[in-house]
Chain A
Amino acid sequence: MLANIFGKLTLKAVQHGPIIAVAQLTMLLGVLSAIGLLFYLKRWKWLWKEWLTSLDPKKIGVMYIVVAVGMLLRGTTDAAMMRAQQSMSVGTSNGFLTSDHFQQIFTAHGTIMIFFVAMGLMFGLLNLVVPLMLGSRDVAFPFMNSTSFWLYVGGAVLINLSLVLGQIGATGWLAYPPLSELAYSPGVGVDYWIWSIQIAGIGSLLSGINFIVTILKMRCKGMDLMKMPIFLWTVLGSMSLVAFAFPILTATLAMLSLDRTLGMHFFTSDSGGNAMMYVNLIWAWGHPEVYILILPAFGIFSEVVATFSQKRLFGYKSMVWATAGITVLSFTVWLHHFFTMGAGPNINAFFGIMTMVIAVPTGVKVFNWLFTMNHGRVHFNTPLLWFFGFIATFTLGGVAGVLMSVPAIDFQVHNSLFLVAHFHTMIIGGVVFGYFAGIAYWFPKVFGFKLNEQLGRYAFWCWTIGFLTAFVPLYILGMMGATRRLDHYDASMGWQSLFIVAGVGVLIIGLGIAFQVLQMIVSIKQRKSNLDITGDPWNGRTLEWSTSSPAPFYNFAILPEVHDRDAFWDMKYGSSKSTKSTNYTNYTDISLPKNSSAGIFIATFASLFAFSMVWHIFWLGILGIVGVLVCLIIRLSDDETEYIVSAETIAKNESINLSKKATH
C-alpha cells in the first residue's frame, strides 16, 4: 500500500551522516526563514504580482541571476569541501569525507556550476539586455520565456532536494555509463541528476528558440543584421547552438533514464548496449555547450571594451565571422573529450586538427579587443578589469587547450588535474569573468544606480589571484600524474603541499565572493550617491543606454530608429544627432503582455512529474503530465493576454524622467 503511494520513497531517504544533516538543516532553516520573513513583511502578494508572475524580461532576468547566485554559493561550498578533503586525506589520514560522499560532491559541483550557475547567469543577462539592445519592448514569446525560467527553477529545486531526500549520483557531472546504469548505481542519485537537468534543459531549449526569433524578428527600424551590436551576434550564435545541441541532450538523458527505469539496453554493459555511444552523444551536446556559455561572454567583452575605450569596436566584420565560425566549428570537435576511446589515428587526427582550427577565430577576437583599446580613451572601471583578468587567464587556458588538442599529448594528461585546470581556466576566466563584467556593466540600467567601484575592485583582485592560486597548482599536479576526482593519495606522491596551495586559492576566491556580497549591500545602502540619472552612466554606444535608468517597463516610449552600428553613439555625436530629440510628446498606446501564473504551474507539474520518475511514484507522474497539459490548454484558450498602456501614462512617466534629468 505504502509503495503505491510513495514509490521507493521511505524515511531512510532523509537519514545521512552529520555533514549532510548540517547542510539539510541549513537549507531547511533558510527556506523557513525566507517564508517567515515574507509573512512578517506581508510581501507575498507583492512578490507574486510584481515578480513571480511577471512576464517582463527585465524582471525574469533579475530572478534568473538571483537563483544563479544562490546556486553559486552552494557550488563554491562543494568546491571548498573537495579541496579541504584533498589537502588532508594523505597517507594514513582519510580526511573528513567518505569516498562515496566525495563523489557525490564533485558530481553536484559540476552539475550545479554548469547548468544552474553559468546557464542561469547567461539567460539572466540575455533577458536583461537583448530586448533593450534590439530597441524592442519584449522578447518574441513572453509567456514561453517565463515558462523557461520556471523550468530552470524546477531543475534547481530538484537538485537541491536531492540533498534533503535521497542523494545525488556519485558518477561525475556527465554520468558516464555503465557506472551510471542501474547495475552500478542502484540509488536514486542518477535519477535526480537526469531529471533536474532534463527539466532545466527543456527550459533552456525553449529560451534558445525564443531568443533566436527575438533577434531575427524584433530588431528596431534600421537595425539590419550587420548593424547589430556584437553582443547580439554572439547571442544569436549561442542560441543557435542551444537549438541544435540541447535536443541531443534531451534524447541522451531520455535514453539513460529508459535504461534505468524500463530496463532497456542502450548503454548497459550487457545485452548489446554501447556505453561509448552515450559518451559520443553527451559530448556532441557538451562541446557546443562550452561555446553556448562563452559566446555571450565574448559579446559582453566586445561591448565593454568598446564602451570603456570610448572607441568603435575594431574589426566588426571579422568579429561577426569569427562568431559564425566558432558556432559552426563547435560541432566538429566533440571527440577531443575522449581521444583515448581508441577511435583510430585518422579520426583522432581530424578532431585534433579541428580543435586547433577553432582556436583561430577565438584568437581573432582577442586581437580585435586589444586593437580596440589601442589609441582609445581607456577607463579602468570594474567591467574592464574583468576583461583584463579574462585576457590573461583565458589565453593561458586556451594555450593549454591547444596543447591538449594534440592526441598524443592528450593521452598523457587525459583525466588528469591538468585537464581540470584547463577547463576551469576557460569557464572561470572566460565565462564567469565575462558574466561578472556584464553584471557590473548593465547593473545601473536595471536598478538605476551603479555598483560600488572600490569593493568591485577588491572582488576582482581576490577572484583573479585566488583563481591563479587555486588552479596553477592543478596544472602542475596534473603533469605530476594526479588524476581528477581523487579523494585520497599516498604521502610519497609529494602532492600535499600543492593541494594545500590550491585550497588556499579557493579561500581567496571565497573572499572575493564575500566582497561581491558586501558590494551589493553597500551599493544598495549608498544608492542615493551612485544614482544613474542620465540613463547613460558610461557614455555608452548601444541602444540600451538611450532609455532612462532603471529602464521603464515598456523599455522605450518611442521605438528607436537606427542608422549606425553604434546607434546611441551616433544619436549623441554622429550625423543622426537630430533624430533623437524629435518630438518627445508624440506618444502612442503600447500593448504589453499581462502577468501570467501559467508558467509557474506548468513548471511545478513538470517538476512533480520529474520527482515521481525519481521515486517511481506512479500516480504523481500521471498527475504531473495531466497538470502540464491542462495548464497549457487553459493558457492557450486565453485570447486576452495583452493589456494597453495608454499614451497619457507614458507621457506622465516620461516627463518625470525628463524633469529628473533636468534638475540634475
Chain B
Amino acid sequence: MTNIIKTEDSSKTLLGFWVYLMTDCVLFASLFATYAVLQNNTYGGPSGKQIFDLPNIFIETILLLTSSFTTGLVMLAVKKRNKNTVLLWLAITWVLGALFLSLEISEFRSMVLAGNSWRSSAFLSSFFTLVGTHGLHILAGLLWAGVLAFQLATKGFTENVTRRLHLFSLFWHFLDIIWIFIFTIVYLRGTL
C-alpha cells in the first residue's frame, strides 16, 4: 500500500486516521463492556436466544465480509489508476453495504413489532445501542463512499481523492472487524 500515497501530508493523515480508528475502538469497547454487564438483565423479557434469527445474521455477515473483499479490489484498482474499475467495485461495495444495512433494519423492525423494543429491558437497550452504533457507522461509510465516488468521477485520482480512498478502505475493514466481534459476542454467544 505504501506506493499509493507518498507525501508527508498523507503520512500525517494516515497516522491521524489510525489514531481515530483506535478511539472508535474504545467507543465500541465501552458499548461491548456495557452489553457484557447487561446481557442477562432481561427483566422478564426475551433473551437473545429467543429473538436472534441466526440465518439472517449469517447472510448479513457474508454480505459485509464480501464488501470488505470488494474494498480490497477497489484499492487494487486504485493502485493501477483504473478509474472505471474503481468506480465499479466501489459501487458493488456500496450495494453490499446497503443490503447489509437494510437487513439489519428489517431485523430491528421485526423485533420492535414483536414487542421487543429497546424500552423492554436493559439487555435490549444495550443490544440495540451496540449493534445500532455499528449500523450508524455503516451508514456514514455509505455516505462517504458516495461522496468519494462523486469526487473520483469529477476530479480523477488527485492526491486528496486517492488518500481518502485509502482511508475509506481502512474504515470499512475496521467496521468489518467490529462486526466479527458483534457476530461472535452478541449473536453466537447469545444463541448457542
- B42 A255 Cβ-Cβ under 8 A: no
- Name the B residues within 8 Å of A140 (CB-CB): 12, 16
Cβ contact within 8 Å between B129 and A258: yes
Q: In the assembled complex, which residues on chain A have CB atoms less than 8 Å from the CB atom of B164?
A: 636
Kindly state whether residue B143 has any CB partner on chain A within 8 Å: yes
| Interface flags, A263-282, vs B, CB<8A=1, else 0 | 11110101111100100010
- Give the distance in Å from the alpha carbon of A390 to the alpha carbon of B167 in the complex: 45
C-alpha gap A353/B8 in the complex (Å):
45
Q: Which partner residue on chain A sits nearest B128 by CB separation? A: A264
Q: Which of B22, B118, B160 contacts A264 (CB 8 A)?
A: B118
A216 at the interface (CB under 8 A from B): yes
Chain B residues in 8 Å Cβ range of A141:
12-13, 16
* B15 and A217 form a contact (CB under 8 A): yes
CB–CB A213/B16 < 8 A = yes
Stretch at the interface among B25-33, B48-56, B80-88, B99-107: B25-33
Q: Can you list 11 residue pairs at the A/B interface with Cβ under 8 Å?
A: A140-B12, A141-B13, A141-B16, A209-B20, A213-B12, A243-B26, A247-B24, A248-B26, A264-B128, A271-B120, A281-B33
A246 to B30, CA, bound (A): 11
Interface residues of A (CB under 8 A from B): 140-141, 205, 208-210, 212-213, 216-218, 243-244, 246-248, 250-252, 254-255, 258-259, 262-266, 268, 270-274, 277, 281, 284, 629, 633, 636-637, 639
Task: Please determine whether A274 and B16 come into contact, CB atoms closer than 8 angstroms.
Answer: no
Q: Across the interface, do B27 and A250 meet the contact criterion of CB distance under 8 Å? A: yes
CB distance from B11 to the nearest CB of A (A): 7
B111 proximity list for chain A (CB < 8 A)? none
Contacts of A268 in B (CB 8 A): 122
Quote the shortest CB–CB distance from A396 to chain B (angstroms). Answer: 34
Q: Which residues of A contact B67 (CB under 8 A)?
A: none
Contact A274 to B43, CB < 8 A, known contacts A248-B30, A251-B27: no
Measured CB to CB, the nearest residue on chain A to B140 is A629
Q: Which residue of B lies closest to A632 (CB)?
A: B147
The minimal Cβ–Cβ distance linking A588 to chain B, given in whole angstroms, is: 16
The answer to the question of B3 belonging to the interface, with a C-beta cut-off of 8 Å to chain A, is: no
CA distance A577 to B6 in the complex (A): 35
Q: Is the CB of A217 within 8 A of B11?
A: yes
When distances are taken between beta carbons in the complex, the residues of chain A under 8 Å from B119 are 262-265, 271
Determine whether the beta carbon of B34 is less than 8 Å from that of A281.
yes
Chain B: minimal CB distance from A160 (Å):
28
Asked if A272 contacts B38 (CB within 8 A), the reply is yes
Chain A residue nearest to B33 in the complex (CB)? A281
Instruction: Contact check, A251 vs B41: say whether CB atoms are below 8 A apart.
Output: no
Query: Shortest distance in angstroms between B155's beta carbon and chain A's nearest beta carbon?
Result: 8
B36 to chain A, nearest CB (A): 10
**By the criterion CB–CB under 8 Å, are A255 and B129 in contact?**
yes
Shortest beta-carbon contacts, A-B, top 4:
A272-B41, A272-B122, A264-B125, A251-B30
Query: In the assembled complex, how far is the CB of residue B50 from the closest CB belonging to chain A, in whole angstroms?
Result: 16
The interface residues of chain A lying within 8 Å CB-to-CB of B37 are 274, 277
- Chain B residues within an 8 Å CB radius of A246: 23
Distance between Cα atoms of A639 and B164 in the complex (Å): 13
B149-161 vs A, CB cutoff 8 Å, 1 = contact: the mask equals: 0010001001010
B123 in contact (CB, < 8 A)? yes
Report the Cα distance A231→B22, complex, angstroms: 24
For residue B19, CB closer than 8 A to chain A, the reply is: yes
Q: How far is the CB of B52 from chain A (nearest CB, A)?
A: 18
Give A56 to B31 CA distance when docked, in angstroms: 37
Assess the B15–A265 pair: CB atoms within 8 A: no
Complex: chain B residue closest to A141, CB-CB: B16
Could you count the A-B residue pairs with CB atoms below 8 Å apart for me: how many are there?
112
Contact B38 A210 (CB under 8 A): no
Name the residue on A nearest B154 (C-beta).
Answer: A637
Pick the most buried of A205, A216, A265: most chain B CB atoms within 10 A of its CB: A265
Q: B63 CB to closest chain A CB, in angstroms?
A: 25
How far in angstroms is the closest Cβ of chain A from B15? 5
Which of A259, A264, A271, A284 is B43 in contact with, Cβ under 8 Å? A271
Contact of B122 among A205, A209, A254, A265 (CB under 8 A): A265
CA distance A255 to B132 in the complex (A): 12
Shortest CB distance B148–A (Å): 10
Write out the residue numbers on chain A whose beta carbons fall within 8 Å of the beta carbon of B16. Answer: 140-141, 209-210, 212-213
A554 to B125, CA, bound (A): 51
- Residues A266 and B23 in contact, CB atoms below 8 Å apart: no
CB distance from A437 to the nearest CB of B (A): 29
Q: Is B162 an interface residue (CB 8 A)?
A: no
Write out the residue numbers on chain B whose beta carbons fall within 8 Å of the beta carbon of A259: 125
Give A209 to B164 CA distance when docked, in angstroms. 18
- Which of B8, B23, B38, B118: most chain A Cβ within 10 A? B23
**B121–A271 CB distance below 8 A:** yes
Please tell me if the beta carbons of A274 and B41 are within 8 angstroms of each other in the complex.
yes
Instruction: Please measure, in the bound complex, the distance between the C-alpha atom of A277 and the C-alpha atom of B123, giving whole angstroms.
Output: 13
Check B12 against A281 for contact (C-beta < 8 Å). no
- Any A CB within 8 A of the CB of B68: no
Contact between B31 and A272, CB atoms less than 8 A apart: no
Residue of chain B at shortest CB distance from A629: B143
- Shortest C-beta distance, B127 to chain A (Å), equals 10
Tell me which residues from 38 to 84 in chain B have a Cβ below 8 Å from any Cβ of chain A: 38, 41-43
Known contacts A272-B41, A274-B37: A243-B122 contact under CB 8 Å: no
Known: A205-B23, A247-B24. 9 other contacts (CB 8 A): A140-B12, A209-B16, A209-B23, A213-B16, A266-B129, A272-B123, A273-B38, A284-B30, A637-B151
Distance of B27 from chain A, by nearest CB (Å): 4
B126 in the interface (beta carbon within 8 A): yes
| A residues less than 8 Å from B121 (CB atoms) | 265, 271-272
Output the least CB separation between A213 and chain B (Å): 4
Determine if A217 and B12 form an interchain contact, defined as CB atoms under 8 angstroms apart: yes
| Residues of chain A with a CB closer than 8 A to B122's CB | 265-266, 268, 271-274
Closest A residue to B27 by beta carbon equals: A247
Please report the C-alpha to C-alpha distance between residue A265 and residue B118 in the assembled complex, in whole angstroms. Answer: 8
* Shortest beta-carbon distance from A331 to chain B in Å: 11
Among B27, B30, B120, B123: residue with most chain A CB under 10 A: B30
Interchain CA distance A482-B81 in the complex, whole Å: 71
Taking CB atoms, residues of chain A closer than 8 Å to B11 are 217
A151 CB, min distance to chain B CBs, angstroms: 15
**Shortest distance between the CB of A392 and any CB in chain B (Å):** 37
B160 near A272 with CB under 8 A, answer no
Contact B38 A277, beta carbon cutoff 8 Å: yes
Q: Report the bound CA distance from A420 to B8 in whole Å.
A: 48
Contact yes or no, A244 B26, CB < 8 A: yes
Given known contacts A248-B26, A263-B119, is B38 in contact with A213 (CB within 8 Å)? no
Query: Which of B11, B20, B26, B37 has the most chain A CB atoms inside 10 A of its CB?
Result: B26
In whole angstroms, what is the CA distance A205 to B123 when docked?
Answer: 29
A140 to B41, CA, bound (A): 45
Distance from A145 Cβ to chain B, minimum over Cβ atoms (Å): 12
Residue of B nearest to A273 (CB): B122
Most buried by A among B125, B129, B158: B125
Contacts A209-B20, A213-B15: A264 and B129 contacting too (C-beta < 8 A)? yes
Separation of A255 and B33 alpha carbons in the complex (Å): 13
Nearest Cβ on chain A to B40's Cβ, whole angstroms: 8
